[in-house]
Amino acid sequence: MSPYARRGVHGQTVEALARRILGGDIPEGATLDLVALQSELDVSLTALRESLKVLAAKGMVDARQKRGTFVRARADWNLLDADVLRWQFEGGRTTDADRALLHNLAEVRAIIEPAAVRLAAERRTDDDLAALEGALVAMGEEDAGPAHAVEADLAFHRALLAATHNELLERMEMVIESGLAHRDRIVHSSPHSEDPVPAHRAVLDAVRDRDPLAAEAAMRALLDQAGRDLDRMDRIRTTDDTEGARAQ
């Protein structure tokens, strides 16, 4: 399913409801008070119902006679949906569920990207190499700021999936990108993260050389580095939380 367009009151209502559900403010199993939500969100009942249809299509809510509209169990949510991933990570806070999802994403990447880069090494074109090189150059622009670094990293991995010339693998961008963007925002905003350029350069060099085995090894090394960065951020966050609790 293509990403939901974030436009107008309708789009804002969808996102507001989704983030409350994903953040646990509206818990699993809760029955929604549509009249109260209509007043609180300052939207028409028609707009609210249309917004709930979007969330129903993503497995997050359902409606039954005598029970009304309710939040479905998390096991029923389409967590691979690009919007659900984005809403999960753009809620303004990092929850335990977010952290678990980031680690789940790391495992998914470890399955998909080493295999994808083997294909990229075999099938890449000059245009693919140009896209990868451009993203890598942008990644190395140290004074451009964290947001630029995030977009450059996303562009590199997007170009890598495109270089497989496999339509289904290219679509995996929608699964990987939201979580990767959130991970990158955490990592690139910290002075403790490792320089990502050498690891990405090794991947590009192997793809350019049409060496699938070297490309796979380089990608696994890159993912190992990404895992170390994430673990380091978790340790820093845990330490900060502990010190904050002691100070209270």
Q: Summarize pLDDT for 163-207 with one digit per residue, the tens.
A: 999 999 998 888 888 777 777 777 666 666 678 899 999 999 999
The predicted-structure confidence for 133-163, as pLDDT tens digits, reads as follows 999 999 988 776 778 888 999 999 999 999 9
Can you say whether the dihedral through the CA atoms of 29, 56, 44, 9 is positive or negative? positive
Which pTM was predicted? 0.77
Question: Of the spans 46-50, 75-79, 167-171, 212-216, which averages the highest pLDDT?
Answer: 212-216
CB contact at 8 A, 178 and 85: yes
The predicted-structure confidence for 93-124, as pLDDT tens digits, reads as follows 556 667 787 888 889 899 999 999 999 999 99
Please give the pLDDT value at position 114.
97
Which region among 83-92, 186-195, 218-227 has the lowest average model confidence (pLDDT)? 186-195
Bridge partners (DSSP) listed for residue 62: 70
The mean pLDDT value of the chain amounts to 86
| Three-state DSSP string of 202-219 | HHHHHHHCCCHHHHHHHH
DSSP 95: -
Helices (H), 23-166: 34-41, 45-57, 82-89, 96-123, 126-139, 146-162
Residue of 105, 106, 103, 102 lying closest to 220 (CA atoms): 106
The residues, any chain, with a CB within 8 Å of residue 188's CB and separated by 6 or more, are: 146, 149, 150, 153
Q: In degrees, to the nearest 5, what angle opens at C-alpha 112 toward C-alphas 108 and 164?
A: 150
